Structure 1
Amino acid sequence: MRRIILSHMENQRFLEQELAMWKHICHVAPIGFLYVDRENHLIRCNPKACQLLDIQQCQHIPPRLLLELVRSYELDQLIEQTRKVGQHCEREWIFHPVSAEQAILSQQQPRPMRGYGLPLADGAVGVFLENRQEATLLAQQRDRWTSDVAHELKTPLTSIRLVAETLQTRLEPPLRTWVDRLLHETIRLSGLVQDLLDLSHLQASPTARLTKQPVDLVKLIQSAWQSLEPLARKKNLQLHYSGPSSLVILADEPRLHRVLLNVFDNSIKYSSPEQEIRVCMGLTANTTSTTQQVHLEVIDAGPGFPESALPHVFERFYQADPSRTRSGYELGMARQPDSSPPSSSEPAALMNSSCGLGLAIVRQIVEAHQGSVTAGNHPATGGAWLQIFLPWKPSEAVSLESVT
């Protein structure tokens, strides 16, 4: 019996040491931590969390409603979502400190935050908080530098293109092939520069650069597909559309046309020959309000996105598989003398090899329309599955007659 008691005491001492160690780690950790019970009372938080959330007293706080200490709708939503789904959840937002003292409020600056919610026993939730201020500043500096470089490259590329077009009509056929190649690469680089400038303009003032008017999405889908039909015809790909015969929203038509071009170009590029690309469209309930929204799905017949790439597909210059997205020119592979470069009259997508900007532009334009876009792999086909959500009002509708 004495041996059992000693063993029990030893185990208890070990557990107490473990608990003290983890408490110390949590206390000195460079990221914030909150422990919230099932009634949303804040039971425990470390000094870093108090600093990030501007909680004035972080030590020996009696259990209080989190709402009394921190006014953050996004943090509340993260906790509720984690509790509801019962698994790890992640959310990013801009935290705006709110204090009862106006003097303190005027000195506090909004800061970007990232929260990780972890479900615990009895409905409790643990939240790790990360300050994203430095990462945001670095991203802004990178984007500003990229935009500056694009501005500097635009004029010389235009000059090179003009010279190449002039030489194209004055050289003998054996030499014209090299000028054709130069012109092809110049057009591709000019397209890349224009994409960078478009992204920079959209990020600087997302809504100010939109010219909204009634747009029939069904006709826009047909128009975008027709623009890329030469690409689809090479692989004998078909477009299968299901949805209303007409659906009108208030949007910037050229921008949305660009969205569809980029999405279809990706789908055509990675779909296997003799397949079909599915486009489904309809209205669905908005999860954040009582209104409805347009739900547009594009499902290709390709291998889908690698799981590791899904969180990054909308980032600038991100390529899940660079070897699949570079043409022979980009790899330094010379053409045979008897082969002809692509004609400048071909669709823009033919002239521009993938550079990891297409889906970044898609996200920027969709978000400028107060919408959202997600990427995944379709559970039935395994192909890439892009879902675009756009705001819609009944007054914008013309017809919702379903077609098959």
Structure 2
Amino acid sequence: MRRPRSLRTRLVVSSVALIAVVAAVISAVTTIALHSYLLGQLDTQLSDVARRAAGPGPPGVNKPPHAADLRFLTMGGQPVGTIGAVVPDGGEGGVRHGGISVQSETTAGEPRIDARRLTREQTGALGQVPLDGAPHSVDVPHAGGYRMISQPFDGGTLLVGLPTAQVEDTLSTLVVVEVCVSAAGLVAAGIAGAASVRMALRPLRRMAQTAKRVSALPLHQGEVVLRERVPEQDTDPRTEAGQVGAALNRMLGHVGSALAARYESEMRVRRFVADAGHELRTPLASIRGYAELTHRGGEPVGPDTRHALSRIESESRRMTDLVEDLLLLARLDAGRPLNTRTLDLSPLVVDAVSDARAAGPGHRWRLDLPGEATLVRGDASRLQQVLVNLLANARTHTPEGTVVTARVRRAAAGGGVAVQVEDDGPGIPRQTLPHIFERFARGDPSRSRTHGNTGLGLAIVRAVVAAHGGEVSVTSAPGRTVFTVRLPDPDTEPPVPDGRSPAPGERAAPGRRPAGAQGQPPAPDGQLPAVD
């Protein structure tokens, strides 16, 4: 496939090609004009030579016997190589005789002009010249190009010719000069054009740099302050580049307004979730308490009442779990600092698998741990929750008898620690896989939970891992599903959460502000209002 050329290259090539066409046209016109001019001069000189050769007096008048003599070839007054030939009246028999002037030397070494007789081949070529008194171009064998003219005299017609070698040499020299000058001009035009186009495209390059900086901003999350703009010098509406720059600035302004509106909407939703969760905790705790108190009371109740109370207690517990998950996600979204310390992941994995074995005795649980400690820096309770959620996900989404393996591996130098939860269950549907870590995501019925759930377990996993500066991924196929959590080394600097102001010595990401109400600083410790 042909690689596309840059705009600068296309402009320079187009300019040079245009100059080359103009130079070719000028050179061709100049050459043709000079050729016509030189031939005109040669024809004038040829006419003079022919009149002198035919002798004085008007044509058709009786001339002296020497009028048709070819001695004029040796008398001078015309260039060396002049041809003279006699054609009898009526042109019968063609050219009778002819000669060509040549330069030789005397015995004393002085130059002189002699006449050499034309060969039969040469006289045959002269016989093709029309006897109309007009100049004609003829190619004389072994002599080159000639301009020939006929001059009548008493008893016949005299043919006189002058060589065109000088004209051809002049034109050849002109063509060489034109080619050299045009080539030098094209080289100079290419260099000057490249420099001028580079300067002309400088505003576009600055716009491209602005667009590149904007594309590098994390616009997908947090509050984005889009300060990047095209420099004012590149927004002059009188120029095409300035019009593009002004339009780009207007577009960036609209995008910034849209991002600010989006962030404000997100903050309102987060505040609502936090406030709602906070307010629901107390009535849910009261409902559960009254339900448990009713169970402990001595008053006799019917089976329907006992069933209703058990359902109230079960659903209140489920709603409490949902509220706790929502509050945890709200805290993580707000960037609440984690209680981090250096810890070994292996004991956490052992405890999580032990709890999972007790909750799912129908599954086969396996551990694959390294021989050495796998140290990371993190919040032990949050990392424990990550492991519990991953193992619970494997337990509730796979049938009994499924083998679930929890594996811990230290990656290459500087690669951190990887924790994997693998099962040989039916796998995750392909259409669900890209959305598996979204909040309230559900798989298809073949992997649905057998009991109530919040749909936030894997979303919490991703949020907690991201708060630790790590990442979580999943690969799935029938018979093998693997969730992989990668955590950085303990000496790696933890990331600055989006929801709090940078600590001393930290720098916030460019183009972003900490989460919080627009135009106001975030709440203390990165907490959202009404989140405890």
User: TM-score of the superposition, structure 1-length normalised?
Assistant: 0.58
Letter in structure 2 aligned against 1:386: F
- Which runs of structure 2 are paired with 1:213-252 in the superposition (5 Å)? 213-233=341-361, 235-252=362-379
Q: Provide the rounded CA distance (Å) in 2 between the counterparts of 1:40 and 1:240.
A: 60
Aligned to 1:30: none
Q: Provide the rounded CA distance (Å) in 1 between the counterparts of 2:464 and 2:204.
A: 45
Is 1:369 aligned to residue 468 of structure 2? yes
Which structure 2 residue ranges, 5 or more long, are not aligned? 11-199, 236-248, 494-532
**Greater Rg, structure 1 or structure 2?**
2
Is 1:72 aligned to residue 213 of structure 2? yes
Q: Provide the rounded CA distance (Å) in 1 between the counterparts of 2:404 and 2:487.
A: 21
Alpha-carbon deviation of 1:279?
A: 2.3
Aligned to 1:49: none
Q: Provide the rounded CA distance (Å) in 2 between the counterparts of 1:371 and 1:155.
A: 34
Using a 3 Å threshold, how does the CA distance of structure 1 residues 223 and 373 change in structure 2: closer, same or farther?
A: same
Using a 3 Å threshold, how does the CA distance of structure 1 residues 262 and 243 change in structure 2: closer, same or farther?
A: same
Question: Which of 389, 393, 410 pairs up with 1:266?
Answer: 393
Using a 3 Å threshold, how does the CA distance of structure 1 residues 92 and 163 change in structure 2: closer, same or farther?
A: closer
- Which runs of structure 2 are paired with 1:348-367 in the superposition (5 Å)? 353-367=452-466
Q: Provide the rounded CA distance (Å) in 1 between the counterparts of 2:479 and 2:373.
A: 29
Aligned to 1:169: 296
- Which runs of structure 2 are paired with 1:7-46 in the superposition (5 Å)? none
Q: Provide the rounded CA distance (Å) in 1 between the counterparts of 2:379 and 2:398.
A: 29
Aligned to 2:488: 391
Question: Which of 311, 314, 318 pairs up with 1:184?
Answer: 314
Q: Provide the rounded CA distance (Å) in 1 between the counterparts of 2:212 and 2:483.
A: 34
Which structure 1 residue ranges, 5 or more long, are not aligned? 1-35, 44-58, 78-90, 113-130, 329-352, 397-404
Q: Indicate conservation of the 8 Å contact 1:292/1:391, yes or no.
A: yes
The one-character-per-residue Cα deviations of 1:233-256 (angstroms, maximum 9, x if unpaired) are 0x2322232434421211100010
Report SS of the residue matched to 1:223.
Answer: helix
Using a 3 Å threshold, how does the CA distance of structure 1 residues 135 and 275 change in structure 2: closer, same or farther?
A: same
Q: Provide the rounded CA distance (Å) in 2 between the counterparts of 1:61 and 1:247.
A: 53
Q: Indicate conservation of the 8 Å contact 2:473/2:485, yes or no.
A: yes
Aligned to 1:211: 339
Using a 3 Å threshold, how does the CA distance of structure 1 residues 291 and 326 change in structure 2: closer, same or farther?
A: closer
Q: Provide the rounded CA distance (Å) in 2 between the counterparts of 1:75 and 1:395.
A: 23
Q: Provide the rounded CA distance (Å) in 1 between the counterparts of 2:377 and 2:387.
A: 16
Letter in structure 1 aligned against 2:421: V
Alignment coverage as a number of residue pairs: 279
Question: Which of 187, 191, 194 pairs up with 2:324?
Answer: 194
Aligned-residue CA RMSD (Å): 4.2
Q: Indicate conservation of the 8 Å contact 1:270/1:301, yes or no.
A: no
Tell me which moved more, 143-152 or 244-253.
143-152
The one-character-per-residue Cα deviations of 1:35-68 (angstroms, maximum 9, x if unpaired) are x979999x9xxxxxxxxxxxxxxx9888748864
Structure with the larger RCO, 1 or 2 (CA within 8 Å, 6+ apart): 1
Letter in structure 1 aligned against 2:278: H
Aligned to 2:238: none
User: TM-score of the superposition, structure 2-length normalised?
Assistant: 0.45
Using a 3 Å threshold, how does the CA distance of structure 1 residues 283 and 37 change in structure 2: closer, same or farther?
A: farther
Q: Provide the rounded CA distance (Å) in 1 between the counterparts of 2:277 and 2:317.
A: 14
The one-character-per-residue Cα deviations of 1:151-196 (angstroms, maximum 9, x if unpaired) are 2211111111111111111154745444233222211111111111
Alpha-carbon deviation of 1:198?
A: 0.9
Using a 3 Å threshold, how does the CA distance of structure 1 residues 61 and 236 change in structure 2: closer, same or farther?
A: same
Alpha-carbon deviation of 1:306?
A: 1.7
Alpha-carbon deviation of 1:146?
A: 2.6
Q: Provide the rounded CA distance (Å) in 1 between the counterparts of 2:216 and 2:4.
A: 14
Using a 3 Å threshold, how does the CA distance of structure 1 residues 239 and 109 change in structure 2: closer, same or farther?
A: farther
Letter in structure 2 aligned against 1:383: R
Q: Provide the rounded CA distance (Å) in 1 between the counterparts of 2:285 and 2:324.
A: 11
Q: Indicate conservation of the 8 Å contact 1:325/1:354, yes or no.
A: no
Q: Indicate conservation of the 8 Å contact 2:398/2:447, yes or no.
A: no
The one-character-per-residue Cα deviations of 1:103-147 (angstroms, maximum 9, x if unpaired) are x99xx88979xxxxxxxxxxxxxxxxxx76665554444333333
Alpha-carbon deviation of 1:214?
A: 2.1
Question: Which of 390, 393, 406 pairs up with 1:279?
Answer: 406
Q: Provide the rounded CA distance (Å) in 2 between the counterparts of 1:199 and 1:283.
A: 28
Alpha-carbon deviation of 1:387?
A: 1.4
Report SS of the residue matched to 1:243.
Answer: coil
Q: Provide the rounded CA distance (Å) in 2 between the counterparts of 1:295 and 1:96.
A: 36
Letter in structure 2 aligned against 1:316: R
Q: Indicate conservation of the 8 Å contact 2:277/2:323, yes or no.
A: yes
Q: Provide the rounded CA distance (Å) in 2 between the counterparts of 1:135 and 1:37.
A: 39
Using a 3 Å threshold, how does the CA distance of structure 1 residues 372 and 98 change in structure 2: closer, same or farther?
A: same
The one-character-per-residue Cα deviations of 1:77-103 (angstroms, maximum 9, x if unpaired) are 9xxxxxxxxxxxxx957685445869x
Alpha-carbon deviation of 1:316?
A: 1.4
